[in-house]
Each structure stands twice: as structure tokens, then as C-alpha cells.
Amino acid sequence: MASLSITEASKKGISALVATAENGQEVTLSRHGKVVAEVISTKELSSLRQDRETLRDAALVMARFATDSGVRTTLDKAMEHFGFSRAELEAEIEEDSAAENS
């Protein structure tokens, strides 16, 4: 990995930084000795984005496993909990359907 100060990178020029990244080498840029940016290829960026999505999915799965008690609720129980009956729900659906068709 190449490491350059902002001043050095400016002297090399953007074309040189891009060419280095295109060849698969990361370029670290620093200001006052502190890393502030990296220039990487679009291939590497795409790979990092895919990894981020994979990690996000894995975190969701792990959270689900950690919090899942195994208890399942039927639709009828859920409707009962919220004060609805199947007949009321079906009537509302029929009413909405009729309104859309008229």
C-alpha cells in the first residue's frame, strides 16, 4: 500500500493516483501525519460494499437467533389481540374491493 501526504499526492497528480488504484494498489493519503483518505479501485470498492451487505444480513440473522423465543402466533390470535375478528377483516376487505370497482 502506497502512503502519501496530500502535498505529495498533489505533486503526483490525480492520474497517477488513479493508475495506482486501477493496478490494485491502495493509496493512503495523510494530512499532518493523520490518514484522511484512501484511493482504491472500483473493483475493491464494489467488493467492500458487497461485504458490508453480507455483514448486515449476517447481523440481522444473528439478532433474530438471539431474540427468537420460538413462540409463534396465529393470525387469528394477533387479530384478537388488536380487537379484530376474521369476519370484520373480511368485511373490510370486501368493502374496499367494492369501492375500488365502482
Assess whether 56 and 76 both reside in one domain. Answer: no
Please check whether residues 14 and 36 belong to one and the same domain.
yes
Q: Do 77 and 91 share a structural domain? A: yes
Instruction: Please check whether residues 35 and 46 belong to one and the same domain.
Output: no
Domain shared by 13 and 34, yes or no? yes
Q: What is the pLDDT of residue 37?
A: 95
List the 27-31 sheet strands across, edge first: 2-5, 27-31, 34-39
pLDDT of residue 2: 86
The helix/strand/coil state of 32 is: coil
Residue 101 has pLDDT above 90, yes or no: no
The pLDDT of residue 75 is: 87
Asked if 13 and 29 sit in the same domain, the reply is yes
- For the segment 98-102, the average pLDDT, to the nearest whole number, is 86
* pLDDT score at 76: 87
pLDDT of residue 66 exceeding 80, the answer is: yes
Domain count for the chain, please give it.
Answer: 3
Distance (Å, whole) CA 32 – CA 16: 22
Give CA–CA dist 29/19, Å, rounded.
15
Run of H or E residues at 75: helix 75-81
Grade residue 31 by pLDDT with cuts at 50, 70 and 90: very high
Nearest to 25 by CA among 50, 46, 3, 8: 3
Range of the domain at 48: 42-70
Element (H, E) at 14: helix 14-22
